[in-house]
Chain A
């Protein structure tokens, strides 16, 4: 078959970094192939994808050289961040932008826009504000506007990294439907939904060299250890995790929190209502429900970030007497960067302790312990923004819980994290739970709920509608694959 992409002896270097990212890398992709690029974060998968598309060096200036470089004429590129690939406010205008760039006559546009929206399964009126779409819908819109370019090759750069399970499924379903003989090159960390679609896997190593390149199933089974070690979400990753996980100790301690006829307001409207609920030490509560049901609002209300009424007793006293609240409740946001207030990892950990005026010796001791526990010793003098995604997440959790709070509120803390980081984070939380903290966590991931949660709260239309005790599912029982 004819090659549509061919790279011969590519050398590429990022300014300000030592050494080459790629040294004499060669790769070719035939017409109609579905290729998955796998590798650890920072190995240059996305960079390679951008070189293939020509984004490097045309739009992003990175010094590079190749003996031969064959790139497709017509291509489309879907990026990771759903909020950073649109330039127009409405869905139809965004697709029209791509059509305009190709000088498609105006009279043809409305029909084409409708056809493209149908193709990606978006059942919205074309003139819909993009801001009101969910992440999964935004990514499908991105796909529609890329398809407007009538590409021969589709480049997909972790299109579902920032999506929940539902959105991820919808996006891959759509990709499979629209492909029709196109060449597709994918970079992805969550490969459960991709594995049966691709026919070839290229595995890159930490040093930017190709470790393996071949038929998808064969590479996946031959290099499963490497894939697992790099924290990639592969099918069965949870079963493998269960085999290594240790037995959990479950006990319920004293009551930490009690709610009764509790309401949280945004503006003048009650957005969350909890008729009756209690939380005990040693509990892990998974807060689940649809997008926009009010899960985050519930956490905001508990943290008193929004106005509330009704009964709210924390640690045996009315919430109004528990000021300042951050001494008792740790809160972790979805995006860790929002929470950083200092200029180094050490300072970040020390911040809350200094605020309380703890003695310096004790602070030093606590920091040293946390750095070890959260695996941040080597990064202790770096600026928080310079950390990797996983490190940022760990730091934001460590810095939040440093004051020894009893209750942790976490808003989708595993969002966008790779498998390795997710497991590490969950283990750390689990350790704190066993020591008597209570964890309340918004999550979409049933696997986490099933393995870690002791209770589930279901939020529907701004109301806590179900509060159920979950059966303890001991990881030891999962041995031999009997777990599911």
Chain B
């Protein structure tokens, strides 16, 4: 089964995964505390540009990855618009009550969801799990025990996906009615889990048989350090935030500066 999408390596792939993780987590919280919709729209647009041109994936892949986040944007924004509180009524139709306040609050929350989603996408699209965990071990002193367990688990995912497909076929062949509900979950979960648990146990034994001790001294096949791209990365995001903030305050799209 085709699982991995080939992509062009960009400079974002070259940045230190731990640094990238920290910067993006900081931004994640920063976005939660932006209350000026103008600033937030700027931030989202900038992240969107980076997502489109910085991750190195073909346009169709980007489109399908972006689509669910766009739907989240629409649904959060619209539900806030229609059911939020406010005093300046625009439309009232049964339960639906759109006011100026709720409209802008909806837009704001939609963009917030979008920005958070984009941060996550940018990180996961430009970071190989192997590099992330090697970096976490080297820069943030994560115990090898945890790092390699995660990596082993990542390896199990595509295998499980294939098994899921096969079980689907197998049940169809036996004439199992394709009805929903708990019994269906059980039919898939039990064989999938029993295989995975056994496989995980075997992998653990195999890892120890290769003298993996979980702690103690070890060398690293990938030495992950810092380089010029890390400077560029931090500088870019600092600039991005500054420009977004400055433009949002001085050249606003709308006159509201705080949606609270």
Q: Which positions in A face B, CB cutoff 8 Å? A: 53, 55, 58-60, 76-77, 79, 81, 83-90, 92-93, 96-106, 109, 129-131, 145-146, 149, 300, 303, 305, 324, 326-327, 331, 333, 335, 337-341, 351-352, 355, 385, 399-400
Contacts and interface: CB of A to CB of B under 8 A. Distances in A.
A55 B220 contact: no
A109 B221 contact: yes
B199 interface: yes
B212 A97 contact: yes
Contacts of B155: 86-89, 130
A78 to B, nearest CB: 9
Contact of B211 (A109, A129, A149): A149
A331 B219 CA distance: 50
A130 B209 CA distance: 19
A89 B187 contact: no
B206 A338 contact: no
Nearest to B218: A100
B217 interface: yes
The secondary structure that dominates the B interface is helix
A76 B209 CA distance: 7
Interface in B194-249: 194-195, 198-199, 202-213, 217-221, 223
A84 B208 contact: no
A196 to B, nearest CB: 28
Given A106-B223, A385-B194, A81 B202 contact: yes
Interface string B156-183: 0011000100110111111110000000
Contact of B220 (A102, A106, A130, A335): A106
Contacts of A300: 169
A112 to B, nearest CB: 11
B173 A331 contact: yes
B218 A84 contact: no
A326 B194 contact: no
B71 interface: no
A305 B169 contact: yes
Nearest to A303: B173
Contacts of B205: 55, 59-60, 79
B3 A131 contact: yes
Nearest to A145: B210
Nearest to A77: B209
A81 B219 contact: no
22 contacts: A83-B199, A84-B198, A84-B202, A86-B155, A87-B151, A89-B155, A90-B130, A96-B221, A97-B212, A97-B221, A100-B220, A131-B159, A305-B172, A326-B172, A326-B174, A326-B175, A339-B170, A339-B173, A339-B174, A341-B187, A351-B174, A352-B175
